[in-house]
Amino acid sequence: MLPPKQHKAFCDFYDVVRNEEHLDARTTAMIGLATAIARECQP
């Protein structure tokens, strides 16, 4: 778990990234998938 300050910063970042104004939905999904693979997350 992240401390409150870092958690808020991450949530703010996540909200901006998920906004399709800058990246389309496919690109956002691909970034998320690549991040999960890099972090060795299990499906």
Question: Is position 43 within any domain?
Answer: no
**Is the residue at 15 inside a domain?**
yes
Distance CA 32, CA 17 (A): 10
User: What residues make up the domain containing 30?
Assistant: 4-38
- 1-43 pLDDT tens trace: 678 998 888 888 878 777 777 788 888 888 878 877 887 766 5
Is 33 inside any structural domain?
yes
The count of domains in the chain is 1
Cβ distance 18 to 26 under 8 Å? no
Looking at the domain assignment, is residue 18 inside a domain? Answer: yes
Query: Which is it for the CA torsion 15, 21, 22, 25, positive or negative?
Result: positive
Would 17 be classed as within a structural domain?
yes
Let me know if residue 13 belongs to a domain.
yes
pLDDT at 43: 55
- Residue 20 in any domain: the answer is yes
**42 and 34 Cβ atoms separated by less than 8 Å:** no
| The pLDDT value given to residue 12 | 86
- Listed residue (17, 11, 43) closest to 29, CA to CA: 17
